Amino acid sequence: MDVLVTLFYVLFSICVVYPPTEFVSAGFTIAQLFDNYLGSENTNFIGYHMKRITITAFIHSALPLGYVCTLWCCGERSQWMLASFAATAFIPLLMCYKLLCWWEYEKLGHPIVKALLPYVSTGSDWRVTAAYLNSEFRGVDKVSIQLTATSKFVATETWLIKVSQYSVNIVKQEDCSLVATASDSHNLSPSGEDVIQYLNIEVIPNRDEIQRFTFRITTVMLRDLQPRLLNAVRVPEHISLMPTLVERFVNVFKQYVDQNPVYIIDEEPEMCIGCMQAPADVKINRRCLPPPPHLEGGPQQCQQCHCRVLWCASCMGRWWATRAGGPASGWLAGRCTCPVCRAVFCLLDVSPARLAVS
Q: Round to whole Å and give the CA distance between 205 and 174.
A: 9
pTM above 0.75, yes or no: yes
Count of CB atoms situated within 10 Å of the CB of 275 = 13
Q: Round to whole Å and give the CA distance between 243 and 247.
A: 6
Q: Round to whole Å and give the CA distance between 19 and 12.
A: 9
Q: What pLDDT, on a 0 to 100 scale, did the predictor assign at position 119?
A: 92
Q: What pLDDT, on a 0 to 100 scale, did the predictor assign at position 13?
A: 93
183-191 own/partner pairs: CB under 8 Å, 24+ apart: 183/239, 183/240, 183/241, 185/242, 191/327, 191/329
Written as tens digits, the pLDDT of the chain (358 aa) is 578 888 999 999 999 999 998 888 888 899 999 999 999 999 999 999 999 999 999 999 999 999 999 988 888 777 888 888 899 999 999 999 999 999 988 899 999 999 999 999 877 889 999 999 999 999 888 999 999 989 999 999 999 999 999 999 999 999 999 999 998 887 765 545 577 889 999 999 999 899 999 999 998 889 889 888 998 899 898 888 888 788 888 999 999 999 999 998 888 888 999 888 899 999 998 888 766 654 555 567 888 888 889 999 999 999 999 888 777 778 888 889 999 999 999 999 999 998 877 5
Phi-psi region of 123 (alpha: psi -120 to 50; beta: other; left: phi over 0): left
Q: What pLDDT, on a 0 to 100 scale, did the predictor assign at position 291?
A: 64
Q: What pLDDT, on a 0 to 100 scale, did the predictor assign at position 294?
A: 47
Q: What pLDDT, on a 0 to 100 scale, did the predictor assign at position 256?
A: 92
Any idea what the Cα angle at residue 324 is, between residues 318 and 327, rounded to 5°? 115
262, with CB counted inside 10 A (0-12, 13-18, 19+), is exposed
Nearest to 303 by CA among 288, 283, 317: 288
CA 255 distance to own-chain centroid: 31
CA–CA distances in Å: residue 209 to residues 170, 212, 239: 12, 10, 29
